[in-house]
Structure 1
Amino acid sequence: MAMLYSFIPMAFYMALLVPSISGRIDQHWYNATATFYGDMNGGETMQGACGYGNLFKQGYGLETTALSTALFNEGLACGSCYEIKCINEPGWEFCVKNARSIKVTATNFCPPNYVDGGWCNPPQKHFDLSMKMFTTIALYRAGIVSVNYRRVPCIKKDGVKFELTGNPYWLLVLVYNVANAGDIKSVSIKGSKSGWFPMTHNWGQHWNTGQNLVGQTLSFQVTTSDGKMLQFDNVVPANWKFGGTYQSKQNF
């Protein structure tokens, strides 16, 4: 990801050793840093390590962030939501005056960079925001700022959505538009002619199974990272197609 850097005080290089965030909504504020990527129109928001595809069509828009390794949890944190506010460091006052906090959804991964800056290197907690979100709380010329963050409930419209890709012997399902915890811990699938099968976490919020379920109505059990499970009975009709997206009437 393209990130803008300016001269930064040495304090930013120190690892921020704070408790790791679980799937539970946490009202405590934690320390981190933030940069930005793309441009004011979104730039790189069409795809990412979470697999959401077109973030505008899927309802995420520009209110998005990439997470560093310490927060990304190998993709299981995709879909989680955060409230972030800029913090001025002594002598480095780059926060927008009187700016309110922002709320963003995790839709991408900020990989380690051991050459330039290394803000996303373990064990640092770091958010690589869309430019629109970054400049809402901080000055463009800052490049990187200190922030406080906390997990917050995800507010989503309509029901959970399931996008099906792959082939008859390797079904890959993207689960998205998940409210409240936002991120998913486990998924099980059931065909109208089969029992329940646990799905394997593949990447981002993609889950796969080797069961051939073509021609069957599909149901899902989805458990979010806070332990809440919802069952989506017959959410995908028997005539489903690869590449199709199916919306449920339920959400968390």
Structure 2
Amino acid sequence: MPPPSLQNPIHTLLKPLLFLFIFAATTTSHTSSTTSSPTLSTTLSQWQSARATYYAASDPRDTVGGACGYGDLVKAGYGMATVGLSESMFERGEICGACFQIKCVDDLRWCIPGTSIIVSVTNFCAPNYGFASDGGGKCNPPNKHFVLPIEAFEKIAIWKATNMPVHYMRIKCRKEGGIRFTISGSGIFLSVLISNVAGAGDVTAVKIKGSRTGWLDMGRNWGQNWHVNANLQNQALSFEVTSSDSMTVISYNVAPKDWRFGQTFEGKQFET
């Protein structure tokens, strides 16, 4: 376990205020359909260069979730296989949920040969403009930088390495179960956290439909929290989710008409 002195304040991630999401109920959609165009394999990157650091196991960000809004990462199913991205990669939260394969390179002293890890994007590494990007500002533009839980970092490198050169590649996400929709809000304001997304992993567009309405576009609030101003109470809810590779999955009647704020429901999943 690294000594506290190795924990660097420039690793501090942006921690917006989070809603409490209570996984109080799980329901599978009654009928669903999937529309696909290009698969993620057509948009996968080649191995690219970046650097990676870690934060200590005692850091509370594991339970508060971070800039993507997933809440408690263990309860949300992400565990320690997570990563925070620097500003040049974070895309203002649009990339939340995407998956990367990362391996340690070019440092025979610290790399663990033949190893790699797969992580999901759950957080943001804020820039520190008090330092130059080639000095202490590891997450300043244009740096490509990953911040990992130490449990993930130690799978590819010895912790004494601290700031390591790595190679990374965007890959498909593989998840157990369906996409999860956690509903919060009050009155006509309805917010939905979308998590456990397979395939591309990120979400670029969401529509919602009540049993007495047509399809309504939802706006991105922050991270993977989406919102709409509409009175949809006492209506069964359906969702249409589109990912960055232009694949769309529709889950009909995910939430029954007696749904309540704070509940989580499970819908159709992207094919992988």
TM-score, normalization: structure 1? Answer: 0.86
Counterpart of 2:92? 74
Counterpart of 1:227? 246
Counterpart of 2:147? 128
Query: Is 2:101 the counterpart of 1:86?
Result: no
2:150, 2:243 → 1: CA distance? 29
2:260, 2:173 → 1: CA distance? 29
TM-score, normalization: structure 2? Answer: 0.80
Return the letter of the residue paired with 2:66: G
Counterpart of 2:46? 28
Deviation (angstroms), 1:3: 7.0
Distance 1:4 1:23, change over 3 A: farther
1:176, 1:61 → 2: CA distance? 13
Deviation (angstroms), 1:70: 1.1
Residue 141 of structure 1 aligns to a residue whose secondary structure is helix
Work out which of the residue numbers 172, 179, 192 in structure 1 matches 2:198.
179
Whether contact under 8 Å (1:80, 1:105) holds in the other structure is yes
Residue 181 of structure 1 aligns to a residue whose secondary structure is coil
Return the letter of the residue paired with 1:205: Q
Counterpart of 1:196? 215
Whether contact under 8 Å (2:44, 2:169) holds in the other structure is yes
2:215, 2:104 → 1: CA distance? 46
Residue 147 of structure 1 aligns to a residue whose secondary structure is strand
Deviation (angstroms), 1:99: 4.3
RMSD: 2.0
Counterpart of 1:15? none
Work out which of the residue numbers 81, 92, 97 in structure 2 matches 1:63.
81
State percent identity of aligned pairs. Answer: 44
Whether contact under 8 Å (1:64, 1:130) holds in the other structure is yes
Work out which of the residue numbers 122, 125, 144 in structure 1 matches 2:163.
144
Deviation (angstroms), 1:251: 3.3
Whether contact under 8 Å (1:42, 1:131) holds in the other structure is no
Structure 2 counterparts to residues 42-61 of structure 1, below 5 A: 43-46=60-63, 47-61=65-79
Q: Structure 2: any 5+ residue segments left out of the alignment?
A: 9-39
Paired residues, number? 231
1:251, 1:24 → 2: CA distance? 16
Counterpart of 2:128? 113
Q: Structure 1: any 5+ residue segments left out of the alignment?
A: 6-21
